[in-house]
Structure 1
Amino acid sequence: MNNEKRRDNRHIGKYISQLYRKGSVFINKEVSKYGISSGQFMFLLEVYIQDGRNQEEISEKLKIDKGTTARALKKLEEQGFITRVKDEYDKRSNKVYLTDKAKEIRENVFDVLRDWNHMISQSLTEEEEEAMDKLLEKVCNNINI
């Protein structure tokens, strides 16, 4: 009974929420010097990973709706980090490209990601870190809302 009761009182979402909030604070603090917010951070990372990807692919990869993606990319474009170009084969689609300004800070942005990953995993063994990564991926892949 004690195990059942303890299990009922565990709220995994509470910890996920805390990680999200703490991550946003950390990332905002670190990338604000470049004029980027945590809300734009992950979109810029996706373009770093594959320059020239279209907006819809970015939305699908991040599991974020198209409107939110369009707004985040518009802000990155206004700030001079990306350019959006109509796809020559599909005029309804925009391809997203890095500007020189974004390329100049690429390593700094990836350093922020590495620092955050280090912070959240520093108390874990390598095996625990791998298990956490696999479990979180499994949970995310299982939720389709």
Structure 2
Amino acid sequence: MNNKNNEYFGRYISILYRQSSVFYSKEFHKFGIGAGQYMFMIHLYKNDGISQEKLSELINIDKGTTAKAIKKLEELGYVERNKDISDKRVNKIYLTEKALEIKDEFLASLTKWEDILTSNLSDEEILYGLKILNKLTKNVSKN
């Protein structure tokens, strides 16, 4: 495609990423959770007890980064790492009572960002945008 308007997906994706990082940093600061940990919390709320390796795959982040983020969340008291009973090489990650206590407020912040992001879009535009973003994600996942 010859792009004469100098409009690029990457530019807008970058802006959205930076703005979401600023938003989430402010929202989750009160919990001590930083930009490097909130994505793990989101997926742990949906998949409590998941293995550390599966969590890495789910988020599409390398194992080292996952280990660091989980260690930080463990230090903050939000998760516990336990060895799998059937395979001692596997760490399962479980949310603590402290994590469950902030769950509603934490998830409300995610909804707040979605509301900001989609505030002037119709339902059709939202669905179309999600379809496009899904395709873009699949394109880069192939590389």
The amino acid that maps onto 1:41 is: Y
1:69 aligns with 2:66: yes
What is aligned with 1:126? 123
Where structure 2 has 5 or more consecutive residues not aligned to the other structure, the ranges are none
Partner of 2:36, secondary structure, is helix
TM-score by length of 1: 0.93
Is residue 90 from structure 1 mapped to residue 87 from structure 2 by the alignment? yes
| Pairing partner for 2:23 from 13, 23, 26 | 26
Q: Count residues with an aligned counterpart.
A: 141
Distance, in Å, in 1 between the alignment partners of 2:117 and 2:76 is: 30
Distance in structure 2 (CA, Å) of the matches to 1:98 and 1:92: 20
With over 3 angstroms needed to count, the CA separation of the structure-2 counterparts of 1:96 and 1:124, relative to structure 1, is same
CA distance in 2, matches of 1:120, 1:102: 26
Which residue pairs with 1:52 in the alignment? 49
1:21-75 per-position Cα deviation (integer Å, ceiling 9, x unaligned): 0000000101100111122001011110011000111111111111101100000
Please give the TM-score of this superposition, normalised by the length of structure 2. Answer: 0.94
Which string of whole-angstrom CA distances, capped at 9 and with x for unpartnered residues, describes residues 99-144 of structure 1?
Answer: 0000000001100100001111112111001111111112112222
Unaligned runs of 5+ in 1: none
For 2:52 and 2:128, how far apart are their aligned partners in 1?
32
- RMSD (Å), alpha carbons: 1.2
Separation in 2 of the partners of 1:95 and 1:64? 17
Query: Partner of 1:12 in structure 2?
Result: 9
What secondary structure, in the 3-state scheme, does the structure 2 residue paired with 1:117 have? helix
Percent identical residues: 48
Tell me how far apart the structure 1 counterparts of residues 139 and 11 of structure 2 sit (CA, whole Å): 19
More helix by share: 1
Q: Distance in 1 between matches of 2:17 and 2:101?
A: 27
Q: Which runs of 4+ in 1 moved over 6 A?
A: none
Give the AA of the match of 1:22: Q
